[in-house]
Structure 1
């Protein structure tokens, strides 16, 4: 059963230099309370795996939204993402040489994470054949031809820590995501050594119908009550 911790205790579990997955899409579905506390922790040298670099400004007037806080603070040494155009600081730091950036096709990255959680050794995809994607030897393991069609063999992606966020999390750690906020949270919860979930709302066991559980509590190590953080 997942252990409930404070946001400060959750941040203490994340070591300097960790490889971190953060669920979310342009900040939607980010664990905002945990990320904010991590941005003030003084820790850094992170490898960040996320869909994107979020945005400099948030919908409520925030200066930096979600994982953009970590990037702004130069806490990220390596960003693995699918698109970064809405956060100009990513390009700036990449061009300065202070942050390495690997861009991977969005569907490929999602499947590379999912496959790792499923215990698979790689992903065969036609996406990126004949492009610079197949030149990235850190992630592309080669090319195979199956029934006359070329595919790239992409390695799976794993993290030390996954930081996810759910709209409802019960006291056993079962998670329900509202609408599109499930995005990368769902596969990331299966592909890390340590999973920390932030709850918009903590509910009693049974309040999430079994058929509506999106991430099972067995995958979640720690929960932060985001309503109280």
Structure 2
């Protein structure tokens, strides 16, 4: 019979200097009861300390998950993909209180499978030419880490370059399920995502570590349907049973449990109100116009794409004509967005996290919509680090490097931009103080050179201008109605783009508060 553990006893058991792995995605799937107990025990006793923390996706919605253990001294090193919604851990990184390595999220998920097979690491071209490449920054994410050893290596196989992401043996992994039976078999019936709990458990056992599960229900043995078991009992060392799901095991940040998000109930999408017409919707609408095929498989990234493109697709009645995916494992449906990015209403399928990245890396989506914080003259994009603000790359590098077409969605300037839209025209009421189109990005999350060397189809869509990437640099193709080319575009860039000889206005329908009536050929 599998062992039941008290969370506080578990926290006292973990030796100083351990390496622990966390599984979760944004505000979903974290073991909040376990992590809260570890953080509290450290505050009271100073133990455990000097931990290395490994995680794939972001692990918080600004208050839960990794934030419970974001204490100086408790953590000495973190290896992960994203900290945009984890202000406390981000502060430790930015103030050089911990070592920090940032690797692409998909590579982190696949590293678990490499570890499960006792391989030296995950080998992939993903990350070449970006800040993860050891010839650039090596994924070292703050000043403190720059003096530390290189972990990612560049290797050559059959005259082709690859990156080697090394195996990181775990002492513990904390995974989350819904039910566990007396033999340790785990199901995920009330979870919104499956994530990578099986691969994480395999990776941990390969190196002699302990697999600890947080669950809501303990059930009798031989009562779970075998096809519903996600992690078999022989992989599980112990479990922590939740007492208060409201504070310890929320399904998503806004709900303790809603059957819509576990896929048990479908809801009427006609009842969803259209989102307001603002510049974020304008950007999303112009992006959606790139969906020229009714058989396209697309991906949405966090930010503008994840917040508005799903609702726009629904408003335009295109749900049945494209296959929408989210890197968390979601296929189909309408994404929630914001701090609940990664979950959708009416999903057609919910895959294991790492298996969707197989598709992203191998076949590559037909089109990915991604955000952008900075764009430079050769098409490099930064989404991961702005000054000292450390956000991380998430799945951005994995997806953009492999997609057949990449559409970046961003406002033209940042920091106080105010606009209005009326009579089919865009008006700049107050210009942003931050120029996003700059000579050099602060960090390379997307390599323009890699993209042009591999003949990638790349666009940059803003509320007032549309660019494409060419071997000679960015080319301006479209200007929004109501916008002055020199005052509103060229004067707000640090470099002069190529001006297309066929420069035209963006489609007026984008700026009208009614359906665009998109039709496929």
Q: TM-score range by the shorter chain?
A: 0.7 to 0.9
Alignment of 1:35-184 (within 5 A): 35-42=35-42, 43=47, 44-50=49-55, 51-56=57-62, 64-72=63-71, 75-135=74-134, 136=138, 138-146=150-158, 149-178=160-189, 179-184=191-196
CA deviation string 1:30-63 (max 9, x = no partner): 111111111111223211112324233xxxxxxx
Cα shift at 1:180: 4.3
Stretch of structure 1 that moved more, 76-85 or 181-190: 181-190
Is the deviation greater in 177-186 or in 10-19? 177-186
TM-score, scaled to structure 2: 0.40
Say if 1:65 and 1:73 are closer, same or farther in 2 by CA, change over 3 A. Answer: farther
SS in 2 for 1:157: coil
CA RMSD of aligned residues (A): 2.2
8 Å CA contact retained: 1:10, 1:222:
no
Residue 202 of structure 2, aligned match among 190, 196, 210? 190
Choose 172-181 or 194-203, whichever is displaced more: 172-181
The TM-score, its normalising length taken from structure 1, stands at 0.87
Quick check: 1:27–1:66 contact (8 Å CA) kept in 2?
Answer: yes
1:142: how far off? 2.6
Aligned residue for 1:191, secondary structure, equals helix
Q: Structure 2 regions of 5+ residues with no counterpart?
A: 139-148, 249-521
- Residues 144-181 of structure 1 deviation map (CA, whole Å, 9 limit, x = unaligned): 244x6432222223211111111111111111124443
8 Å CA contact 2:72–2:97 kept in 1: the answer is no
Cα distance change of structure 1 residues 87 and 6 upon mapping to structure 2, 3 Å threshold: closer
Q: Is the 2:178–2:186 contact (alpha carbons within 8 Å) kept by the matching residues of 1?
A: yes
Shift of 1:84: 1.0
Q: Secondary structure at the match of 1:202?
A: strand
Of structures 1 and 2, the one with the larger relative CO (CA 8 A, separation 6+) is 1
For residues 100 and 227 of structure 2, the distance between their equivalents in structure 1, rounded to whole angstroms, comes to: 38
CA deviation after TM superposition for structure 1 residue 73, in Å: 6.1
Contact 2:21/2:172 (8 A) holds in 1: yes
After the TM superposition, which parts of structure 1 deviate over 6 Å for at least 4 consecutive aligned residues?
A: none
CA–CA distance in 2 between the matches of 1:76 and 1:53? 15
